[in-house]
Structure 1
Amino acid sequence: MRIRSRSSLGIVAVLSGVLAAGLTFAPGAAAVSPGTATATYDCGIWGTGTANLAATQSGTSATITITSAVKTPVAVGADTINSTLTLAKAGGGTRVFSGTKNPALAANQSVTMGPLTGTVAPGDSLNSYFAGTALKMVIFGVTVTCDATTSQSPGPFVFS
């Protein structure tokens, strides 16, 4: 059995205290408000309707998951839809969220994409409603573009 000296026990106590203080003062997770929103999208021959958007934030990284009004005419495998969501930033500019994450989808099922990842800054107020293509999906090499025809409800995503 090994007996520790008082000095090594003191070092352990000091390190434990520093670690505990660091955890106590560590910054909390950032929050986006609202966490969910809806908007209407017009995807041309692919369909028009309401999409549900869910946003999360961790520091300057954010994700958005979309369940769209577009239905896939054929079954689609997991992680095969290349998606880009462009959101208008209040005051000008845009933020882009992209990725190839999607669950496997059966034929005639609403397309779910995400989480799509992007970078945000504190105070960013983002809405998919603006002049231009808000959502672009590439499925089996076919590009589907969607314009938002309404502002997000209950309002834009505001990141902290």
Structure 2
Amino acid sequence: MRSGSRNRNVLGTAAVLAGALAAAGLAFAPGAYAVSPGSATATYDCGSWGGGSATLTATQSGTSATITITSAVKTPISVGKDTISSTLTLAKAGGGTRVFTGTKNPAIPANTSVTMGPLSGTVASGDSLNSYFAGTALKMVIFGVTVNCDALTSQSPGPFVFS
């Protein structure tokens, strides 16, 4: 009967170890990161290049975040893939800014809305970021020509809040 008792002890110890390992795995698993809302719109004025509503879509992975912008600005000529240098500056609630940059865009046919991104930046947990602030919110360099865009409205439905 001793061997039966020993088997139960071994099985019990194995079960406790398996449970402890599972709990430790959960404790050290990476946290889920989310930005809310995932998408927002804002109105921009890009001077002689036009303006209007733009859609911003945000994603987050830890302290890294990306934003893709589909703007109301239309390019008068075709633009090749990854040829627009973009800088998006977002106002941080409580002061300061966060900057997202990149040279990522799809090939854009003439007279089509410009899409940029994903633009990369760094965020901190709790950052609340909005494109509406004093200064140039969006800067694009297309074929060496700089296009500055001012945000005319706050983002709707609200600023991006990062976790």
- Scaled to the shorter chain, the TM-score interval is 0.7 to 0.9
* TM-score in terms of structure 1 length: 0.86
**Superposition pairs for residues 124-135 of structure 1, below 5 Å?**
124-135=127-138
* TM-score in terms of structure 2 length: 0.85
Structure 1 residue 28: deviation in Å?
2.5
- Is the 1:81–1:101 Cα contact (8 Å) retained in structure 2? yes
In structure 1, the partner of 2:114 is 111
d(CA) in 2 for partners of 1:124 and 1:76?
Answer: 34
Indicate the structure (1 or 2) with the bigger Cα radius of gyration. 2
In structure 2, the partner of 1:73 is 76
Q: Give the SS at the match of 2:48.
A: helix
Q: From the two aligned structures, give the one with the greater helix fraction.
A: 2
Q: Structure 1 residues 44, 19: CA separation in 2 closer, same or farther (over 3 Å shift)? A: farther
Tell me whether 57-66 or 21-30 shows the greater mean CA deviation. 21-30
Q: Give the SS at the match of 1:113.
A: strand
Does residue 1:29 correspond to 2:29, yes or no?
Answer: no
2:88 to 72, 85, 88: 85
In structure 1, the partner of 2:11 is none
- Is the 1:34–1:158 Cα contact (8 Å) retained in structure 2? yes
2:59 to 56, 60, 67: 56
Q: Give the counterpart letter for 1:48 in structure 2.
A: G
2:97 to 94, 98, 105: 94
The answer for unaligned runs of 5 or more in structure 2 is: 1-13
Q: Give the SS at the match of 1:63.
A: strand
In structure 1, the partner of 2:143 is 140
Q: Give the SS at the match of 1:132.
A: coil
Structure 1 residue 22: deviation in Å?
5.7
Q: Give the counterpart letter for 2:127 in structure 1.
A: D
In structure 2, the partner of 1:10 is none
Structure 1 residue 116: deviation in Å?
0.2
May I ask how many residue pairs the two structures share in their alignment? 146
2:154 to 139, 148, 151: 151
In structure 1, the partner of 2:49 is 46
Kindly, what percent of the aligned residue pairs are identical?
83
d(CA) in 1 for partners of 2:157 and 2:150?
Answer: 19
The answer for unaligned runs of 5 or more in structure 1 is: 1-12
d(CA) in 2 for partners of 1:72 and 1:112?
Answer: 10
